[in-house]
Amino acid sequence: MRPPLVKTILSFLFTLALIVTLAIPLGPLPALGPLLSPVGGLWSAARDGRFGDEEHLGFTGVKENVTIVRDNFGVPHIFAQSDEDAAFALGWLHARERLAQMDLQRRNASGTLAELVGPDAVEDDKFMRDIGLRRAAQATLAAMPADDPALKAMQAYADGVNAYLEKIAPNNLPLEYKLLGVHGVAGWTVLDELTFAKFMAWDLSSSFDDLYLTALTEKMGAEKVAELFPFDRPYESPIAPSWPPTGTPIGRGPHPR
């Protein structure tokens, strides 16, 4: 076999191997070909992060002129003639700058995270469905009057998010979606907003520390738990007037006074 022919065959095989390698997903990562593509690959994430100092929204969902001005720190300020237009612009801005975060948060609160990130999140989804935040949100939504100003504002916000989703091309989705190999995002709803509001209320007001420490104390004894978890809050003064003003540990815990 002549050397030029050998080189041609080797070049062909190398090219074929490279194409196959770039087209096959690598474990949890997507195929490297689309990810490294100069058109719609991860490079577009940096390009999409550049915004002008002043923008004017001209969507059908906006009733009057809406202007978005960014200050020297890049913080957007919305100027609108109505609350609904301002809510629409806020939804549009949030979707443009925090779409992946919003999607992950609504899925986490709803118990559908595994649909996006895979089976590793199934147990978390089961837990969140047991908590029932989305069911509670559905009950709240059903109880809201149709003319409730808050409902109108939330719908305008959802319309703003969806206006951005209709505008963005699949190749220009945020980097997180590229890494997950996702090419589309489900539309935003008022129910999503209420579900996440329930999640924030639950997250900021709930704590399992007392339950964990109580279970450990009953199983191991207070002294061992106090040795393993030497945690106290000597300067925390509860609001309840019948409690000692010098502070007291939260819940039962391993630190009785």
Q: Are residues 183 and 58 in the same domain?
A: yes
DSSP label at residue 29: B
Is 30 a domain residue?
Answer: no
Q: Are residues 193 and 236 in the same domain?
A: no
> Residues 94-136: pLDDT tens digits?
999 999 999 999 999 999 999 998 899 999 999 999 999 999 9
Region class of 68: left (phi > 0), else alpha (psi between -120 and 50), else beta: beta
Q: Are residues 254 and 187 in the same domain?
A: no
Is 22 a domain residue?
Answer: no
Is 235 a domain residue?
Answer: yes
Q: Confidence class of residue 155 from pLDDT cuts 50, 70 and 90? A: very high
Residue 77 backbone dihedrals phi, psi, to 5 degrees: -125, 125
Is 122 a domain residue?
Answer: yes
Q: Are residues 121 and 91 in the same domain?
A: yes
Q: Are residues 218 and 190 in the same domain?
A: no
Q: Are residues 62 and 159 in the same domain?
A: yes
Q: Which residue bears the tokens 């549009």?
A: 92
How many distinct structural domains can be found in the chain?
Answer: 2
Rounded Cα distance, 84 and 62, in Å: 8
Q: Are residues 152 and 225 in the same domain?
A: no
Domain region containing 245? 207-257
| Range with lowest mean pLDDT among 91-100, 161-170, 232-241 | 232-241
Q: Are residues 215 and 168 in the same domain?
A: no
pTM summary value: 0.72
Angle at 50 (CA atoms; ends 44, 52), nearest 5 degrees? 145
Rounded Cα distance, 122 and 149, in Å: 37
